Structure 1
Amino acid sequence: MEGQNKATLHDMQDRVDTYISQFKEGYFRPLTMIARLSEEIGELAREVNHVYGEKPKKITEDENTIENELGDLLFVLLSFANSLHINLEDAFDQSMTKIETRDKDRWTKKEVECEQDE
Structure 2
Amino acid sequence: MTNPSTDVTAMQERVDQFISQFDEGYFSPLAMMARFTEEIGELAREVNHYHGEKPKKNSEDNNTIEDEVGDVFFVLLSFANALDIDLSEAFDRAMSKIETRDQTRWTKKEE
Compute the TM-score of the two structures, normalised by the length of structure 1. 0.90
List per-residue Cα deviations over 1:64-92 (Å, max 9, x = no partner). Answer: 10000000000000000000000000000
Q: Which runs of 5+ in 1 are unaligned?
A: 113-118
For residue 108 of structure 1, what is the aligned residue in structure 2? 107
Instruction: Give the residue type in structure 2 aligned to 1:65.
Output: T
**Distance in 2 between residues matched to 1:31 and 1:62, nearest whole Å:** 27
Task: Write out aligned runs for 1:15-30 (5 A).
Answer: 15-30=14-29
Cα RMSD of the aligned pairs, angstroms, is 1.0
Structure 1 ranges of 4+ moved more than 6 A: none
Q: Percent sequence identity over matched residues?
A: 66
Task: Compute the displacement of 1:7 (Å).
Answer: 2.1
Compute the TM-score of the two structures, normalised by the length of structure 2. 0.95
**Distance in 2 between residues matched to 1:89 and 1:27, nearest whole Å:** 20
Instruction: Give the residue type in structure 2 aligned to 1:57.
Output: K
**What secondary structure is seen at the aligned counterpart in 2 of 1:25?**
coil
In structure 2, do the counterparts of structure 1 residues 23 and 6 end up closer, same or farther at CA, with 3 Å as the change threshold? Answer: closer
Task: Compute the displacement of 1:62 (Å).
Answer: 1.6
For residue 73 of structure 2, what is the aligned residue in structure 1? 74
Q: Which runs of 5+ in 2 are unaligned?
A: none
